[in-house]
Amino acid sequence: MEQVFSIKQALLFGWDKAKQHVWLFVKIMLVVIAIVLVVSIVIVFFREGSLIASLIDSALQIFMLFVDIAMTLITLRLARGETITFTQAVDIFKGLFKKDLGLVVTFLLVLGIAQLLIGIAFLALIIPGVYLALRYSQVRYLVVDKRVLFDWSTHTWKTRWQEIKRVIHEGLRTSSDMTQGVKWQLLWFGLACAGVALVGFIPGMITLGIGLVFVGTMLQFASVYVYMKLLERVEKKSLPVSAPESAPTI
């Protein structure tokens, strides 16, 4: 079996990057938690289950989707050696609304289909579900890294439908190519991450949640390390993976 990445090196990479950037992630999480708490209070005020409360809750879910994409993008850029301040992180989040709607659409399409397929497989049997989860484990990073991107400039419903099918096919196929022959490594990596999360849970609670943020940040960087190694292997084999768009100047 080809050894594409080292689990030890991935975790060490995550540890080093988390030490460098944990306070940025702590600030972001504090802001997100504050917003969620305020919105939750507003929902209770309007009585949970009412139309207004449902609309506010839907808006909160959309907000969390944007946070998810922004956090993944920030982690990717930090993993590649960029420096991002809290102000720049906020600008990245705002940029998703202003000029990166194609990225959001792609994220919803490709990740949504991947999760649907994984869910159906888990309902059938556990093993097929695990297999598809490993096979499509790189979809999130591929999309956010803009190596699979919806072309927002398409104008007719026919061309947009064709673009939707292209994006879904390309995203799933590219992740399949990246994980070919390394699914056992990915499974052991996932188990190692679960072990780290369990070991870090109690210290994380003792440190008022800061330790939990550190562990989560560490594992996110470790996952990005694995993504970059798999991507490097694919590029060396000259498989059709497009280069990411250059990051906007902030």
Residue 34, pLDDT above cutoff 70: yes
The count of domains in the chain is: 1
Kindly state whether residue 212 falls inside one of the protein's structural domains: yes
Kindly state whether residue 248 falls inside one of the protein's structural domains: no
Q: Which domain holds residue 180?
A: 7-236
Kindly state whether residue 51 falls inside one of the protein's structural domains: yes
Q: Give the helix ranges, DSSP H, for the chain.
A: 7-45, 51-79, 86-98, 101-106, 112-124, 126-135, 139-144, 157-179, 183-206, 210-236
Kindly state whether residue 210 falls inside one of the protein's structural domains: yes
- pLDDT (0 to 100) of residue 242: 53
| Whether 43 contacts 57, CB under 8 Å | yes
Kindly state whether residue 21 falls inside one of the protein's structural domains: yes
Residues 149-176, mean pLDDT to the nearest whole number: 79
Kindly state whether residue 249 falls inside one of the protein's structural domains: no
Question: Distance between CA 126 and CA 136 in Å, rounded?
Answer: 16
If pLDDT is split at 50, 70 and 90, which confidence band does 23 have? very high
Kindly state whether residue 119 falls inside one of the protein's structural domains: yes
Question: What average pLDDT does the structure give for the chain?
Answer: 86
Residues 176-198, mean pLDDT to the nearest whole number: 93
- pLDDT (0 to 100) of residue 1: 54
Residues 127-154, mean pLDDT to the nearest whole number: 84
pTM: 0.85
Residues above pLDDT 70, as percent of the chain: 91
Kindly state whether residue 199 falls inside one of the protein's structural domains: yes
If pLDDT is split at 50, 70 and 90, which confidence band does 157 have? low
- Crossing angle for the helix pair 183-206 and 126-135, to the nearest 10 degrees: 90
- pLDDT (0 to 100) of residue 206: 80
Residues 108-116, mean pLDDT to the nearest whole number: 88
If pLDDT is split at 50, 70 and 90, which confidence band does 250 have? very low
